[in-house]
Chain A
Amino acid sequence: MRVAVVGVGWYGFKPVVPELSFREMMFEAAVRAYEDAGVDPRRDVDAFISCQEDFWEGVAISNEFAPEPIGGALRPTITITGDGLQCVGQAYMMVRSGAFKVVVVEAHAKPSSIVTLQEVYELSLDPFIRTLKIPNPLFQAGLDAVAYMRRSGASREHLAMVAVKNKTRGLLNPRASYSAKVTLDEVLNSKPVVYPLTRYEIAGFTDVAINVVLASEDVARRFGDKHVWIDGVWWATEVGTGVIEWHEWGRMPSMKTAALGAYKLAGIEDPLRQTDFAEVEDRFSYMELLALEELGLGGDGVHRLLEQGYYNPGGGYPVNPSGGSLSIGVTLEATGLSRLLEAILQLRGEAGGVQLKDVRRAIVASWRGPPTYTSAVAVVSKD
């Protein structure tokens, strides 16, 4: 039994969405997704899943807020503390179990309403580490970037190339608020925020609500004809945030594990040959390269392939044709769904200015961001 994405909807993709509350954003995204799919949420949807985290919401026990704005009142609704792509994994299992035919996944982010974002990041560290008062929780990205460069031989130029590729590409994507016309020199001559990352290489934050409707193959034909299939989805957490010292520095084993799980379900042995493009984690420039390596999309010489333009939109294997998180911004727990949305629009031929030619199958990979070591990977395709 295959699982289809039959509808998508979103509202926002702006650094600040002041005009709506988070509930109103959730509703606007939901209405659009249900119209896209042609589903009546009060009649056709069997279950709803929301991916969110209380401290991002600024509401304790925020799962209680989930049902009402997405049509889930008095219907089975659950919340998962994790990235939106992990919710897709849950929905995939529910549909494949046969007990649910149509399942809605939603995730939203309103980072603009978090006044003390850095302190909330600090709060996610082990209390025993927090007493060190390391001023910027982004230090973890720097630690990984330095270790990654040392191991792989990638230079600062390679990291900057990722920023130039993604920020420039985003100029063609209406959802990419942080895109910019930027040159390699501008990136390299800009002061590091956390060495080796400059401000061009650290994604900004974006407000958004995203809603995705999944259905089992046997009922999908009732809901439109723009189906994209979830061929596989998997996720993993390394030792986790609780033991930062035990992370495998300069690597992302959670992403590798997630990829292998998703590939197994999708029947993929050679991802570069069997898929056409990828939307991968790039909230820090080095992460795109590290993600590609862990996803098996270029071996340990990904930075060399980058140099040759292999991952450019017109290259051998386009990576982040949407402009990635460096252009779109980080949407907290909605980051995985944001990238899934871009892949779905590509496969449906609805990606507008960033549309690729002749694409049939894609990889979507998300990381939950610092200080987590959790990743999720999905393989999506069209017939």
Chain B
Amino acid sequence: MKPERTPGRYIREEDLRRLPGVIEYKPVARYSYSAGQALSEFLRGLKEGRILGKLCPSCRRVLVPPRVYCEFCFIHTTEWVEVPGTGVVETAVVSYIGTARERLEKPEIIGVIRLDAPGYREGSFDFAGLFHRLCGVTEDDVKSGRVIGMRVRPRWRPPEERRGSMLDIECFEPVQP
């Protein structure tokens, strides 16, 4: 529904910007982050179609995304453990707007996946997880709450398109029974 044009003098954006008192400045802040020991290996794993976690030798949790340390036991994590890509949806959301608050043509469904990784107590708040897009899930699945607990698995991009990035997984999709 578009608002009706109301009477008065309309100011164009460029006129507004020409008013004294407005200083325009576009920051040039570019970075080149080191992913580090843990995430570099994790990203290499994604390229090979594998999800890798790191084991805490004390609490036996397998951390995904991996860390070189366990934040609770505060010791170095040790072995790499491949975890199955399968898991359940912990929570999900439908977004109707993009990052610049523009209305999306097709709403985006995003979720947090609780992966089937060992070392976590049943029902514990912490888990090995990934934040990603959900596909094959409807808006109604999310709004009704049906999506929560849904079993999902990664939909991988073809090997030749993988770059060692989170985008090597296209999305998580429901596991067909």
Contact = CB atoms under 8 A, between A and B. Distances in A.
Q: Interface residues of B: mostly helix, strand, loop or mixed? A: loop
Interface string A68-101: 1101010000000000000000000000000000
Contact of A21 (B23, B25, B35, B71): B35
A20 B31 contact: no
Contacts of B73: 42
A262 B67 CA distance: 40
Contacts of A130: 23, 25
Given A20-B36, A131-B23, A113 B31 contact: yes
Given A21-B35, A110-B34, A73 B29 contact: no
Contact of B29 (A23, A31, A58, A71): A58
A358 interface: no
Nearest to A130: B25
Interface string A17-37: 111111110010001001000
B32 interface: yes
Contacts of A71: 71, 74
Contact of A116 (B25, B30, B33, B74): B30
B177 interface: no
B11 interface: no
A132 to B, nearest CB: 12
A324 interface: no
A321 B29 CA distance: 36
A110 B34 CA distance: 9
A316 B29 CA distance: 45
A135 interface: no
Nearest to A20: B36
Contacts of B37: 19-21, 24
A114 interface: yes
Interface size class of A (residues with CB under 8 A): 20 to 34
Nearest to A207: B34
A119 interface: yes
B23 A127 contact: yes
Contacts of A55: 29
Contact of A113 (B27, B32, B67, B72): B32
A134 interface: no
B25 A127 contact: yes
A24 B36 contact: yes
B28 A116 contact: yes
Contacts of B76: 31
Contact of A115 (B30, B67, B71, B72): B30
Given A41-B74, A69-B69, A123-B27, A115 B32 contact: yes
B65 to A, nearest CB: 11
A27 B34 contact: no
A60 to B, nearest CB: 10
A119 B34 contact: no
B148 interface: no
4 cross-chain pairs, A with B, having the tightest CB-CB distances, nearest first: A21-B36, A58-B31, A119-B28, A115-B30
Interface of B: 23, 25, 27-39, 67-69, 71-74, 76
18 contacts: A19-B36, A19-B37, A20-B34, A20-B36, A23-B36, A24-B36, A24-B37, A31-B69, A31-B74, A31-B76, A42-B72, A42-B73, A71-B71, A73-B71, A110-B34, A113-B33, A114-B29, A115-B31
